[in-house]
A and B are shown apart, each in its own frame.
Chain A
Amino acid sequence: MSDSIFGIHGQALVFQSQRMGILASNIANADTPNFKARDLSFRDALQAAAGQGSAGQPLALAHNQPGQLSGTAENGGAQELYRIPDQPALDGNTVDMDRERVRFTENAVSYQTTLSFLNSRIKGINSALTGQ
């Protein structure tokens, strides 16, 4: 029901909030030795949302026995991947502060965009319901 109303934006909101948490962890650990920066792939999440995940990207739990719980993959269907560093640091840390900050800001803007899409959808439904 909610999927048909909001389309892909509901899943996009989940994905963007998960990604924001991961980017926040990267920035928080900018000075931690041996910390490896992580990220989510938007492409994987989009494919998972469109129901055609690539191999090794579980979309949902398999459901072939009665009584099994259904569930959906965390992170909006995208796996957490390690970032490939531009230049290695001697302490094993792979966080590039500039890149992480840019991605965090970019992700925050995407989140707000998704929110405004959802808002206009809700407004549209509201005006259809009230008929004014």
Chain B
Amino acid sequence: MSLFSIFNVSSSAMSAQSLRLNATASNMANADAVATKPEDAYKAREPVFQQVMEQNGGVGVRVSGITQSTAPNPALYEPGNPLANKDGYVYSSNVNPVEEMVNMLSASRSYQTNVQMMDTAKNLALRTLQLGQ
């Protein structure tokens, strides 16, 4: 393992965190989507991270799958909505905006940390190359 393995490790973490940010963006975009049946309504999505050994040492991250939230989709009484069922209800998404906000902050902070880590590793590697000059 060397300084160069840090590039692999932090780039894998950056892509995992940006996927998490992407999932959060999808969730927030679909927060107000409604459907006629609860099974058709939007379910909040969240990635599951898994550790993975990198080729030249170091432990990176990969997204092993996307889970869908099992929280119930709330029923809203909107008889005027064209998607309403015969009782006048539509089912909205089960996205929790507060949860998504926290997820977004956490993902962006982790992403920043990994960028800084990569920058530090780059600077140290360059300084090592300039040794004795």
Contacts and interface: CB of A to CB of B under 8 A. Distances in A.
Partners in one complex: yes
B113 A33 contact: no
B114 interface: yes
A24 B106 contact: no
Interface of A: 13, 17-18, 20-22, 24-25, 27-35, 74-75, 97, 101, 104-105, 108, 111-112, 115, 118-119, 122-123, 126
Interface of B: 1-3, 5-6, 9-10, 12-13, 16-17, 20, 48-51, 57-61, 106, 110, 113-114, 117, 120-121, 124, 127-128, 131-132
Contact of B124 (A101, A108, A123): A108
* Centre residue among A21, A30, A101 by max chain B CB count within 10 A: A21
Q: Interface majority SS on A: helix, strand, loop or mixed?
A: helix
Smallest CB-CB A-B distances: 9 pairs: A28-B13, A25-B59, A122-B132, A21-B1, A32-B49, A24-B6, A28-B9, A21-B5, A24-B9
